[in-house]
Amino acid sequence: HPVWQDVPEPLLVVRGAAPVPVTHLDWSDVAETAREARLRDLLREERERGIDLARAPLQRLTLARLGDDSVRVVWSFHHMVLDGWSLFHVLSDVFACVADPDTAALPVRRPFRDYVAWLGDRDREEAERHWRERLASLDEPTPLPYDREPRESHRAESRETVRAVLPAVTTRALRERAKEAGLTLGTLVQGAWALLLSRHAGRDEVVLGTTVSGRPPELDGAEAMTGLFIATLPTRVTVPRAGTLAQWLRRLQQEQGEDRRHGSVPLTRMKAFTGLPERAGLFDSIVVFENYPVDDGLAAAHGLRLSGLEGVETTNYPLSLVVEPGPELALSLGYDPELFDASTAERLTGHLTVLLQGMADDLDRAPRRLPLLTPAGRERAVRAGNGAVTGAPVTTTAGLFAGWVRRTP
C-alpha cells in the first residue's frame, strides 16, 4: 500500500485520551414490536455508517433505555481495536463499574505494548523459513463454487449468512470421536471444510484460512490482555488417497501447530513465497472457531443480567465459516451475495453438516469415503442426472450444427 512506502518501521501510536461517542435513546414507552423494528433500523444504519479509520477511537456506543432497570446496548467497533476474547474482558470490567462505580476493583491487565514488544523479539528468519517451505510450489488459488465470478475490481464482503445447528447427539459424538483420536473439535471442522473445498474444486490440494487466537502461551498474562491478537493463517491441506480420517486429521493438527508457532509473519510476506498471480489471495475462505468466555455469570457476578447478546460482523472473504461450540454445534456460513446465491450457500452448509455427521459416525474410513450428500440427496441427484427422455435425432454434433445453420441462416 502507498501509505507504507519509504516507512522503514511502522509504529503503533496510542492516544492519551480518545472519548467514546455515546448516543442515548429512550424506548421505554415504545411497544415491543416497534422496538424490534427500531433496533433493526439502527443496526442497518450502523453497518452502513461504518467506521472512519481517520477518527479515534474507532468505536461508538448507542444506549436505548427500555425501562427503569434495562437497556439495549449497541456497540460498534473496528476489529483492529479489539478481538472477540478482548470484547468480553471489556464487558466484564464495564459490569464491575456499573455495579459499583465508586469502588470497583478492576483486574490489572498487562498492556498491549508488551505483546507488540514480544512480537518484535520473534525470530523472523525462522518463521519465514517455515512458510517458504509450507507454501512452496503454490501457484494457483483454490477455486470456489461461485455463481458469479468476481470481477477484478470487486471487493469481497461476506455480509449474508446461512446458519445450521448440529443436533446435540451429533455434537456429542463428534466430541467423543475427537477425544478418542487425540484431536480437537476445531480440527474436525477444519478437516470437513477442507474436504468440502476439495470436492467442489475437484482437486486434492486446497488452501483455506484459519483464524487463531494469536495469544502466545509463553507470554505471561496474554490471556487477560486487551487488543487485537487474532491472526488468520493459510492452512494448506492435501486430501490423501490412502489412510484413515483419524490419521489425516492428526497430521493436519500437527501441521497447524507448527503454523501457529510461526504465525507472526504477515500474509503479504507469506504470499511473496508463492507463485500466485498478483491479484490472487492466499485463500478465499476462512474458518473461525469462536470459543469466547460468555455466559450469564459474566454479568451475574456483579448483580446484573446479560441477555440477547448477538454479534454482527463481516469479513473481506467470499466465504467465512464461523463455528460456535456448545451442546449443539452452531455453524454460520457468511457469504458474499454478489458472488453466491443463497441457495448455493445453503447447499454448501448442508454438505458440511453431512460431512461432520460422517465424522461423528466413524473416523476409521478413508477421507474420500466420507459422503457429501444424505441418502435422500443422492437419490435426488441421481434422478436429476438421468433427466427426461427426449426425441433427439440420431446424428453427429456436426450434423446438428449444419441443420441449425440451414434453419437460421
**What pLDDT digit, counting tens, does each position of 51-78 carry?**
998 888 999 999 999 998 899 999 999 9
User: Considering the domain 112-384 in this protein, what is its CATH number?
Assistant: 3.30.559.30
Reference 192, options 354, 377, 376; nearest CA is 354
pLDDT value at position 94? Answer: 87
Its CATH architecture, for the domain 2-78, is 2-Layer Sandwich (3.30)
pLDDT value at position 346? Answer: 97
Tell me the pTM: 0.85
Cα distance between residue 377 and residue 396, in whole Å: 34
What would the pLDDT profile of 129-166 be if each residue is shown by its tens digit?
999 999 999 999 999 999 999 988 888 989 899 999 99
Cα distance between residue 85 and residue 290, in whole Å: 9
Cα distance between residue 357 and residue 179, in whole Å: 16
pLDDT value at position 300? Answer: 75
* Cell numbers describing residue 314: 463481516
pLDDT value at position 396? Answer: 80
Whole-number Cα distances in Å, 231 to 212, 214, 276, 373, 404: 5, 6, 21, 33, 57
Reference 116, options 257, 17, 219; nearest CA is 219
* Cell numbers describing residue 371: 459422503
The residue written with cell numbers 433505555 in the block is 65
Whole-number Cα distances in Å, 89 to 85, 298, 302, 316: 7, 10, 14, 26
Cα distance between residue 263 and residue 232, in whole Å: 9
* Cell numbers describing residue 274: 508463492
Q: Is 26 exposed, middle or buried (0-12, 13-18, 19+ CB in 10 A)?
A: exposed
pLDDT value at position 382? Answer: 67
Which residue stretches of the chain have pLDDT < 70? 1-2, 293-298, 302, 379, 381-394, 409
| Amino acid at site 354 | V
Cα distance between residue 4 and residue 140, in whole Å: 27
Residue 264 CA, chain-centre distance (Å), reads 19
Cα distance between residue 375 and residue 200, in whole Å: 19
Residue 50 backbone zone (phi > 0: left; psi -120 to 50: alpha; other: beta): left
Every domain of the chain with CATH number 3.30.559.10 lies at 2-78
Q: Is 389 exposed, middle or buried (0-12, 13-18, 19+ CB in 10 A)?
A: exposed
pLDDT value at position 385? Answer: 64
Cα distance between residue 197 and residue 237, in whole Å: 10
* Cell numbers describing residue 77: 467497533
Cα distance between residue 58 and residue 287, in whole Å: 25
* Cell numbers describing residue 346: 445453503
- Residue 109: DSSP 8-state: -
In 3-state terms, what secondary structure has residue 312? coil
Whether omega before 57 lies within 30 degrees of 0, making that bond cis, reads: yes
Every domain of the chain with CATH number 3.30.559.30 lies at 112-384
| Amino acid at site 370 | L
Reference 245, options 364, 336, 339, 145; nearest CA is 364
Backbone φ and ψ of 161, nearest 5°: -140, 140
For the chain, helix (H) and strand (E) counts, in that order, are 12, 9
CB 244 within 8 A of CB 365: yes
